[in-house]
């Protein structure tokens, strides 16, 4: 992409793509990147038109389909959005079992709900709310999860068998990617599974962390400020940016999963073992304040207020 785009100068980026397209009308990358710039400018109809033009030239252009997906989901067009989400980047094609996408009866069948290369920890926490719905239909549900989520995911209703990613899988009849569950259930805005909490911390862990956090004489507020950079999206801030908050009469608790070396000197206390530890801490808090990272999704799954 043009440097203007990476600098978030989207109007200038758009002008450069338009200039490129006057020189070559069938420049597919420019059409898609133009759509992305328009998306950031909140000119969504024009973005969709740019993707459509690219797909007219190359109907199987995955990048155009995927970016159209993001735009349609943002606009609440779930019918087309979840259908087109099948064009997302995938690197998992080593199964011989057929795919289940909601149309056929799975009574008495064993179904694997599996991860994908692109599935993040926060994504799993968001999408796992569909697992109990699958369990209502299937004879047996096997849920493959990233290892740091193993213990936490065992608290899901429905009795799914939890298997950490990379470990041998038991026998199963059908499979469905976790990301495909909204499509399988034909999800619309009004039917998003929204009952919370749907994940829980163990009672003993909550008690242990409550004791470690000390006397509860003022509000406890959890903070998370750093996230992985993925696909060019920078979602972190510096811990120093939050320091003025510490003048507030509250107890601030780090719920940061991984602490950067530059922040470690400011922090004291114990490191978190996995997401079950994090869930136990969050269960003892009054509020969580976080950048866009898995902590936000975990707090929501625990029905904890989060900013």
Give the 3-state secondary structure percentages of the chain, helix then strand then coil, rounded to 5.
Answer: 45, 10, 40
pTM to 2 decimal places: 0.87
Statement to judge: residues 116 and 29 lie in one domain: no
Give the structural domain span for 14.
3-87
Statement to judge: residues 177 and 207 lie in one domain: no
- Higher model confidence: residue 4 or residue 63? 63
What is residue 268's predicted lDDT score, i.e. its pLDDT? 57
DSSP string, 219-255: -EEEEE-----BTTB-----GGGGGGGGGSSSEEEE-
Q: What is the pLDDT of residues 267-297, one digit of tens each?
A: 555 667 789 999 999 999 999 999 989 999 9
Please answer whether residues 33 and 40 qualify as being in contact, where contact means their C-beta atoms are separated by less than 8 angstroms: no
Q: Nearest-5° angle of CA 67, CA 69, CA 72?
A: 115
What is residue 118's predicted lDDT score, i.e. its pLDDT? 82
- Is residue 58 included in any domain, yes or no? yes
- Is residue 197 included in any domain, yes or no? no
Q: What is the pLDDT of residues 201-230, one digit of tens each?
A: 999 999 999 999 988 889 999 999 987 655
- Is residue 99 included in any domain, yes or no? no
- Higher model confidence: residue 14 or residue 8? 14
Statement to judge: residues 230 and 282 lie in one domain: yes
- Is residue 102 included in any domain, yes or no? no
State the total domains in the chain: 3
Q: Which of 36, 48, 49 is nearest to 1 (CA)?
A: 36
Statement to judge: residues 157 and 242 lie in one domain: no
What is residue 18's predicted lDDT score, i.e. its pLDDT? 94
Rounded CA separation 307/304 (Å): 10
- Is residue 196 included in any domain, yes or no? no
Q: What is the pLDDT of residues 255-275, one digit of tens each?
A: 987 665 555 555 555 667 789
What is residue 39's predicted lDDT score, i.e. its pLDDT? 96
Q: Tell me the average pLDDT across 193-207.
A: 95
171, 191, 211 - which closes a domain: 191
Question: What is the chain's mean pLDDT, rounded?
Answer: 90
Q: Dihedral of CA 71/75/80/86: which sign?
A: positive
Could you give the 3-state DSSP secondary structure of residue 215? coil
Statement to judge: residues 160 and 114 lie in one domain: yes
List residues bridging with 110 in a β-sheet. Answer: 140
Rounded CA separation 242/12 (Å): 32
What is residue 245's predicted lDDT score, i.e. its pLDDT? 84
44: domain CATH number?
1.25.40.10
In whole angstroms, how large is the CA radius of gyration of the chain?
A: 22
**pLDDT at residue 235 greater than cutoff 70:** yes
């Amino acid at each position: 992409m043009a440097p203007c785009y990476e600098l978030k100068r989207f109007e200038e980026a758009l002008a450069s793509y338009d200039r490129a397209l006057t020189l070559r009308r069938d420049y597919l990358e420019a059409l898609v990147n133009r759509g992305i710039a328009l998306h950031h400018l909140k000119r969504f109809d024009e973005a969709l038109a740019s993707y459509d033009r690219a797909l007219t030239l190359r109907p199987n252009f995955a990048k155009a389909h995927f970016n159209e997906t993001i735009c349609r989901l943002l606009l609440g067009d779930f019918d087309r959005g979840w259908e087109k989400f099948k064009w997302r980047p995938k690197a998992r094609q080593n199964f011989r079992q057929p795919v289940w996408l909601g149309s056929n009866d799975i009574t008495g069948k064993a179904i694997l709900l599996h991860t994908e290369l692109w599935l993040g920890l926060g994504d799993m926490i968001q999408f796992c709310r569909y697992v109990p719905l699958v369990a209502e239909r299937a004879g047996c549900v096997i849920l493959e999860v990233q290892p740091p989520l193993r213990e936490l995911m065992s608290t899901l209703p429905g009795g799914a068998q939890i298997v950490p990613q990379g470990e041998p899988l038991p026998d199963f009849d059908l499979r469905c990617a976790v990301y495909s569950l909204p499509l399988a259930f034909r999800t619309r805005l009004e039917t998003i599974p929204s009952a919370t909490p749907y994940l829980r911390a163990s009672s003993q862990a909550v008690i242990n962390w409550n004791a470690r956090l000390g006397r509860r004489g003022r509000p406890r507020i959890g903070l998370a400020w750093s996230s992985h950079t993925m696909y060019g999206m920078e979602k972190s801030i510096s811990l120093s940016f939050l320091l003025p908050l510490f003048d507030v009469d509250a107890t601030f608790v780090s719920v940061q999963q991984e602490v950067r070396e530059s922040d470690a000197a400011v922090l004291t206390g114990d490191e978190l073992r996995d997401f079950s530890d994090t869930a136990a801490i969050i269960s003892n808090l009054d509020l969580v304040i976080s950048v866009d990272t898995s902590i936000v999704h975990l707090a929501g799954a625990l029905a904890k207020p989060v900013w």
